[in-house]
Amino acid sequence: MAIVNRTPDSFYDQGATFTDEPALERVAQAIAHGAAIIDIGGVKAGPGEEVSTAEEIRRTAGFVAEVRRRHPDVVISVDTWRHEVAEAACAAGADLLNDAWGGVDPEVAAVAARDGAGLVCTHAGGALPRTRPHRVGYDDVMADILRVTLALAERAVDLGVRRDGILIDPGHDFGKNTRHSLEATRRLPEMTATGWPVLVSLSNKDFVGESIDRAVHQRLVGTLAATAISSWLGAQVYRVHEVQETREVLDMVSAIRGDRPPAVARRGLA
């Protein structure tokens, strides 16, 4: 899942794909590098300038329609917590609603059900959108992740969201400190054991930066290490900035695990 930020103030690229042509180039490059899903977001996750619902729709819906026109076979995801944006995105051709704030607007799931879209059910620890964690605590962080995400998933099924379109996400850094995110990562088998496909959003996040004391643009190695571990532990979808590097890590893990053969096999065959 390749991240395409339609924001002027992204923590990672500072607006590099805010305008249409760079964003469309990013989509084409991500697909060429192995992305199966394009995740389009119109509001940065962290605190910042207020973005109205109308502005979020303006940033995303028309772009979704153009990506759908140019790439009819790619899965298009829209990262939003607002049902109005979800409706506009689905009307424009989105396949998946990435509700990263954990159902704070319960109508997002209803939109997915009505429009036949998939849904990402995320644990955000009860945090309000665009807020940072502050002295948050859990008796058992994974128990809370499972309680919330499974309830969201079952509610979505009850509303009519197709079961094969639902993913659960532990929500790294959302309503969590670094220790919580690390624990959620090493306990991923508890999520995969539920039978729901697990999505992880690890890319260049603060828990990576704090773990190895690196700034945003120095976190690729740490991100890829977390990706490899998550893959080995059974996560299935990865929301990322660096698509090619992530694809190679996932392919290598799959080869070690025996899920795919080597891309080429020359040594020792003559």
Residues assigned a catalytic role: 205, 239
Strand 75-79: give its sheet, edge to edge: 2-5, 37-41, 75-79, 96-99, 118-122, 166-169
Distances (CA, A) of 185 to 142, 175, 192, 206: 9, 15, 11, 14
